Amino acid sequence: MVNTDVSLCGIALDNPVIPASGTFGFGYEFAELYDINCLGTFSFKGTTREPRFGNPTPRIAECTAGMINAVGLQNPGVDKVVSEELPKLAKVFKKPVMANVSGFSVEDYAHTCAVLDKQEQVGWLEVNVSCPNVHGGGMSFGTNPDAAAQVTRAVKAVTRKPVIVKLSPNVTDIVSIAKACEEAGADGISLINTLLGMRINIRNGKPVIANTMGGFSGPAIFPVALRMVYQVSGAVSIPVVGMGGVSTAEDVIEMMMAGATAVEVGAANLTDPYACKRIVDELPSVMEKYGINKLADIIGRAHG
């Protein structure tokens, strides 16, 4: 009998499979399809201090082995998340949930995290300093080590829960940013968020997405994500949550061998709403195929 248990920042998970923020709503939508308690946990929709309508449409563009999106952090704001979304989730999900937080200032991040820190359902705060789809915030904090550290310190000052900082791949040196976050008190690092991409409609010569550019995700980015997880996990001593193009149980194992303690699944949920359930179901047989008895033992195996 194989063991899929892992521990993320001191919180036990039955397995390392985590639907990524922005691809799983607030969870209860998917609970209509299957029992989402089979998941390790999930990261709920990116939440900001104030409500956001998001970017103009069209927001989605297809591309080879992936997709581009520029939703723009559409969400009802943290107060409504606490008063309306979390009570609905509590009816269908009995495990700690990961709260994904975005902001446009250090104060925004701190306020939103302080509100969510008080929620018993929330196990971890995933602080997104890496969204490429909004102007004047998000990724601007994640492309500079000092700015990322400033956000990390501000959030840590108002929270008791583990803080996992989500990093952007759209940088020259992701390791320096991860190390800055660790030094500022981060309890974990998650990566990668989407790459920046675009498509052009060759019939009219205009960008397909109203926002011009958006976040490129899907299987095509897996090797880039794997490389960055490997680099960062070898440079920090805190847990790493790996993501980017993950769509199979084999991908999960590869990410963990690169150094990930847990693995988020993003775009795959948008093409197959049962993707995470399938990966969870297939994980034990794939472990047996490769002679893996305990999943936690393979974390960072590629580092030697």
Which positions are catalytic?
131
Structure tokens at 271: 């093409």
Which is nearest to 194 in space by CA: 155, 232, 220, 172? 220
How far lies 243's CA from each of 76, 208, 246, in Å? 25, 26, 6
- Classify burial at 87, counting beta carbons within 10 Å of its beta carbon; exposed 0-12, middle 13-18, buried 19 or more: exposed
Please count the CA atoms within 13 angstroms of the CA of 256 that sit on its side-chain side: 26
Tokens 């008895």 correspond to: 293
Could you give the angle at which helices 249-258 and 275-289 cross, rounded to 10 degrees?
A: 70
Structure tokens at 282: 């297939």
Please count the CA atoms within 13 angstroms of the CA of 246 that sit on its side-chain side: 34
Tokens 């309508």 correspond to: 53
- Beta carbons of 100 and 166 less than 8 angstroms apart: yes
DSSP helix, strand, coil percent of the chain (3-state; round to 5): 35, 20, 45
Q: How far apart are CA 148 and CA 166, in angstroms?
A: 10
Strand, helix or coil at 264? strand
Tokens 């179901």 correspond to: 281
Structure tokens at 226: 């794997």
